[in-house]
Amino acid sequence: MWAEKTHHKKTGPNGEGPFELKSTGQVDYLNIKPEYWQSVDKRMQHLSDQGFVTLFETVRRSELWYLGTTQEKAAFYNYVRYLWARYGCYNMIFSWVHHDSQSSIYPKWEQIVSDANSKLFSKMGDYRMPYGQPRTAMSFNTSLNNWNKDIPTALDIQNVSNAERDETMHEWLRNIYHQQPAKPALNLEPFYLIGDYILGMKSMQVWMIPPWHKCRCMVPY
Protein backbone atom coordinates (compact mmCIF):
# COMPACT_ATOMS: atom_id res chain seq x y z
CA MET A 1 0.00 0.00 0.00
CA TRP A 2 0.87 3.65 -0.43
CA ALA A 3 3.95 4.82 -2.30
CA GLU A 4 6.36 2.33 -3.83
CA LYS A 5 9.03 3.01 -1.21
CA THR A 6 6.66 1.80 1.53
CA HIS A 7 5.21 -1.22 -0.29
CA HIS A 8 4.58 -4.07 2.15
CA LYS A 9 5.70 -1.95 5.14
CA LYS A 10 2.24 -0.73 6.16
CA THR A 11 1.27 -3.81 8.09
CA GLY A 12 -0.76 -4.55 11.17
CA PRO A 13 0.71 -5.80 14.47
CA ASN A 14 0.17 -9.32 13.17
CA GLY A 15 2.35 -8.60 10.14
CA GLU A 16 -0.54 -8.74 7.68
CA GLY A 17 -1.42 -6.21 4.99
CA PRO A 18 -4.94 -5.00 4.12
CA PHE A 19 -4.96 -6.72 0.72
CA GLU A 20 -3.57 -9.86 -0.79
CA LEU A 21 -0.52 -9.51 -3.03
CA LYS A 22 -0.25 -10.51 -6.65
CA SER A 23 2.46 -12.89 -7.84
CA THR A 24 4.34 -9.75 -8.97
CA GLY A 25 4.37 -8.45 -5.40
CA GLN A 26 1.92 -5.63 -6.19
CA VAL A 27 -1.23 -4.98 -4.19
CA ASP A 28 -4.29 -6.95 -5.31
CA TYR A 29 -7.15 -4.51 -4.77
CA LEU A 30 -9.67 -7.19 -5.70
CA ASN A 31 -8.88 -9.33 -2.66
CA ILE A 32 -9.18 -7.84 0.82
CA LYS A 33 -7.27 -9.69 3.53
CA PRO A 34 -9.47 -10.20 6.63
CA GLU A 35 -6.49 -11.08 8.86
CA TYR A 36 -5.26 -7.49 8.68
CA TRP A 37 -8.63 -6.08 9.58
CA GLN A 38 -8.82 -8.28 12.66
CA SER A 39 -6.03 -6.12 14.11
CA VAL A 40 -7.93 -2.95 13.13
CA ASP A 41 -10.97 -4.38 14.96
CA LYS A 42 -9.03 -4.16 18.22
CA ARG A 43 -7.97 -0.56 17.58
CA MET A 44 -11.47 0.57 16.71
CA GLN A 45 -12.92 -1.10 19.78
CA HIS A 46 -10.25 0.46 22.00
CA LEU A 47 -10.94 3.95 20.61
CA SER A 48 -14.65 3.42 21.11
CA ASP A 49 -14.17 2.21 24.66
CA GLN A 50 -12.16 5.37 25.44
CA GLY A 51 -14.88 7.61 24.01
CA PHE A 52 -13.05 8.76 20.88
CA VAL A 53 -14.87 9.78 17.72
CA THR A 54 -12.56 8.36 15.08
CA LEU A 55 -11.69 10.16 11.87
CA PHE A 56 -11.76 7.06 9.70
CA GLU A 57 -9.89 7.49 6.41
CA THR A 58 -9.84 4.83 3.70
CA VAL A 59 -6.46 5.44 2.11
CA ARG A 60 -3.82 8.10 1.48
CA ARG A 61 -3.65 10.06 -1.78
CA SER A 62 -0.22 8.63 -2.61
CA GLU A 63 -1.61 5.12 -2.90
CA LEU A 64 -1.43 4.18 -6.58
CA TRP A 65 -4.93 2.74 -6.76
CA TYR A 66 -5.85 5.17 -9.55
CA LEU A 67 -3.24 3.53 -11.82
CA GLY A 68 -4.98 0.15 -11.64
CA THR A 69 -7.15 -1.52 -14.22
CA THR A 70 -10.78 -0.47 -14.69
CA GLN A 71 -11.82 -3.42 -12.54
CA GLU A 72 -9.34 -2.50 -9.81
CA LYS A 73 -10.44 1.15 -9.73
CA ALA A 74 -14.06 0.02 -9.52
CA ALA A 75 -13.12 -2.19 -6.55
CA PHE A 76 -12.78 0.91 -4.38
CA TYR A 77 -16.55 0.74 -4.08
CA ASN A 78 -16.33 -2.78 -2.64
CA TYR A 79 -13.56 -1.65 -0.30
CA VAL A 80 -15.73 1.16 1.10
CA ARG A 81 -18.67 -1.24 1.46
CA TYR A 82 -16.39 -3.60 3.38
CA LEU A 83 -15.27 -0.83 5.75
CA TRP A 84 -18.83 0.36 6.31
CA ALA A 85 -20.04 -3.18 6.94
CA ARG A 86 -17.22 -3.92 9.38
CA TYR A 87 -16.99 -0.60 11.23
CA GLY A 88 -20.22 1.19 10.36
CA CYS A 89 -21.67 0.89 13.88
CA TYR A 90 -18.85 2.89 15.46
CA ASN A 91 -19.09 6.59 16.21
CA MET A 92 -16.91 8.12 13.49
CA ILE A 93 -16.37 10.76 10.84
CA PHE A 94 -15.72 8.94 7.59
CA SER A 95 -13.26 10.38 5.07
CA TRP A 96 -13.28 9.01 1.53
CA VAL A 97 -9.57 9.69 1.02
CA HIS A 98 -6.67 11.49 2.70
CA HIS A 99 -5.92 14.13 0.06
CA ASP A 100 -4.02 16.98 1.73
CA SER A 101 -1.88 18.19 -1.16
CA GLN A 102 -2.89 19.83 -4.43
CA SER A 103 -1.64 17.73 -7.30
CA SER A 104 -2.50 16.30 -10.70
CA ILE A 105 -3.84 13.11 -9.11
CA TYR A 106 -6.92 14.81 -7.61
CA PRO A 107 -9.06 14.31 -10.77
CA LYS A 108 -8.18 10.61 -10.73
CA TRP A 109 -9.18 10.20 -7.09
CA GLU A 110 -12.27 12.33 -7.65
CA GLN A 111 -13.40 9.91 -10.34
CA ILE A 112 -12.85 6.87 -8.10
CA VAL A 113 -14.72 8.44 -5.16
CA SER A 114 -17.54 9.68 -7.40
CA ASP A 115 -18.01 6.20 -8.84
CA ALA A 116 -18.15 4.62 -5.37
CA ASN A 117 -20.54 7.30 -4.10
CA SER A 118 -22.91 6.73 -7.04
CA LYS A 119 -22.87 2.95 -6.64
CA LEU A 120 -23.54 3.20 -2.92
CA PHE A 121 -26.51 5.46 -3.65
CA SER A 122 -27.86 2.91 -6.12
CA LYS A 123 -27.41 0.17 -3.53
CA MET A 124 -28.79 2.02 -0.50
CA GLY A 125 -31.13 4.61 -1.99
CA ASP A 126 -29.56 7.48 -0.08
CA TYR A 127 -26.32 9.46 0.11
CA ARG A 128 -25.41 8.48 3.63
CA MET A 129 -23.77 5.81 5.73
CA PRO A 130 -26.13 3.12 7.04
CA TYR A 131 -26.32 4.67 10.52
CA GLY A 132 -25.90 8.27 9.45
CA GLN A 133 -22.30 8.93 10.47
CA PRO A 134 -21.04 12.05 8.65
CA ARG A 135 -18.90 11.72 5.54
CA THR A 136 -16.20 14.04 4.26
CA ALA A 137 -13.06 13.89 2.11
CA MET A 138 -9.88 15.62 3.15
CA SER A 139 -9.37 18.67 0.97
CA PHE A 140 -6.04 20.13 -0.12
CA ASN A 141 -7.34 23.59 0.88
CA THR A 142 -11.09 24.05 1.33
CA SER A 143 -13.64 21.49 0.23
CA LEU A 144 -15.63 24.32 -1.33
CA ASN A 145 -12.99 24.42 -4.05
CA ASN A 146 -12.87 20.70 -4.83
CA TRP A 147 -14.81 17.82 -3.26
CA ASN A 148 -17.97 19.73 -2.41
CA LYS A 149 -17.92 21.46 -5.79
CA ASP A 150 -17.38 18.23 -7.73
CA ILE A 151 -19.29 15.65 -5.62
CA PRO A 152 -21.53 17.53 -3.16
CA THR A 153 -23.58 14.41 -2.41
CA ALA A 154 -20.47 12.67 -1.04
CA LEU A 155 -19.99 15.16 1.79
CA ASP A 156 -22.04 15.75 4.92
CA ILE A 157 -19.22 17.82 6.46
CA GLN A 158 -17.02 20.45 4.84
CA ASN A 159 -13.36 20.74 5.77
CA VAL A 160 -10.19 22.75 5.31
CA SER A 161 -6.70 21.35 5.28
CA ASN A 162 -3.10 21.80 4.32
CA ALA A 163 -2.58 24.21 1.43
CA GLU A 164 -2.09 27.26 3.66
CA ARG A 165 -0.91 26.68 7.22
CA ASP A 166 -1.74 30.22 8.27
CA GLU A 167 -4.67 32.59 8.81
CA THR A 168 -6.06 31.68 5.38
CA MET A 169 -7.70 28.71 7.09
CA HIS A 170 -9.94 31.12 9.01
CA GLU A 171 -11.07 32.75 5.80
CA TRP A 172 -11.94 29.35 4.33
CA LEU A 173 -13.92 28.43 7.44
CA ARG A 174 -15.82 31.73 7.28
CA ASN A 175 -16.67 31.06 3.64
CA ILE A 176 -17.98 27.63 4.60
CA TYR A 177 -20.03 29.19 7.40
CA HIS A 178 -21.79 31.45 4.90
CA GLN A 179 -22.19 28.76 2.23
CA GLN A 180 -25.70 27.57 1.38
CA PRO A 181 -26.93 24.93 1.75
CA ALA A 182 -25.13 24.94 5.08
CA LYS A 183 -22.97 22.02 6.22
CA PRO A 184 -20.88 21.61 9.38
CA ALA A 185 -17.13 22.04 8.99
CA LEU A 186 -13.89 21.03 10.65
CA ASN A 187 -10.21 21.75 10.25
CA LEU A 188 -8.50 18.47 9.43
CA GLU A 189 -4.98 19.93 9.52
CA PRO A 190 -4.92 22.70 12.14
CA PHE A 191 -2.05 25.12 12.66
CA TYR A 192 1.44 23.72 12.40
CA LEU A 193 3.65 26.10 14.35
CA ILE A 194 6.96 25.80 12.52
CA GLY A 195 10.07 27.61 13.65
CA ASP A 196 13.81 27.39 14.00
CA TYR A 197 15.08 27.36 17.57
CA ILE A 198 18.76 27.85 18.33
CA LEU A 199 19.96 25.49 21.02
CA GLY A 200 23.59 26.24 21.79
CA MET A 201 25.38 25.97 18.45
CA LYS A 202 22.70 23.86 16.78
CA SER A 203 19.56 24.85 14.91
CA MET A 204 16.55 22.60 15.40
CA GLN A 205 13.30 22.83 13.49
CA VAL A 206 10.31 22.19 15.70
CA TRP A 207 6.88 21.09 14.48
CA MET A 208 4.15 21.54 17.05
CA ILE A 209 1.13 19.45 16.20
CA PRO A 210 -2.16 19.63 18.13
CA PRO A 211 -2.52 16.58 20.41
CA TRP A 212 -5.80 15.47 18.77
CA HIS A 213 -3.88 14.91 15.54
CA LYS A 214 -2.21 11.91 17.16
CA CYS A 215 -5.58 10.34 17.86
CA ARG A 216 -6.64 10.12 14.24
CA CYS A 217 -7.09 6.60 12.98
CA MET A 218 -6.24 6.21 9.30
CA VAL A 219 -6.49 2.81 7.65
CA PRO A 220 -4.71 1.05 6.15
CA TYR A 221 -1.75 2.09 8.27
Cα–Cα distances in Å, from 1 out to 11, 65, 102? 9, 9, 21
In this structure, of 1-5, 11-15, 199-203, the range with the lowest mean pLDDT score is 199-203
Is beta strand 217-218 parallel, antiparallel or unpaired with respect to 54-57? parallel
pLDDT at position 218? 38
Neighbours of 104 (CB within 10 A): 6
pLDDT range class, residue 8, cuts 50, 70, 90: low
Local structure of 11: helix, strand or coil: coil
Q: What is the mean pLDDT of residues 162-173?
A: 79
Q: How many domains does the chain have?
A: 1
pTM of the model: 0.82
DSSP letter (8 states) at residue 60: B
- What is the CA angle 120-121-126, rounded to 5? 125
Identity at 10, one-letter amino acid code: K
| CB distance 98 to 57 below 8 Å | yes
Which residue range forms the structural domain that includes residue 16? Answer: 4-218
Greatest pairwise CA separation for the chain in angstroms: 64
Q: What is the pLDDT of residues 109-138, one digit of tens each?
A: 999 999 999 999 999 999 999 999 999 999
pLDDT exceeds 70 at position 97: yes
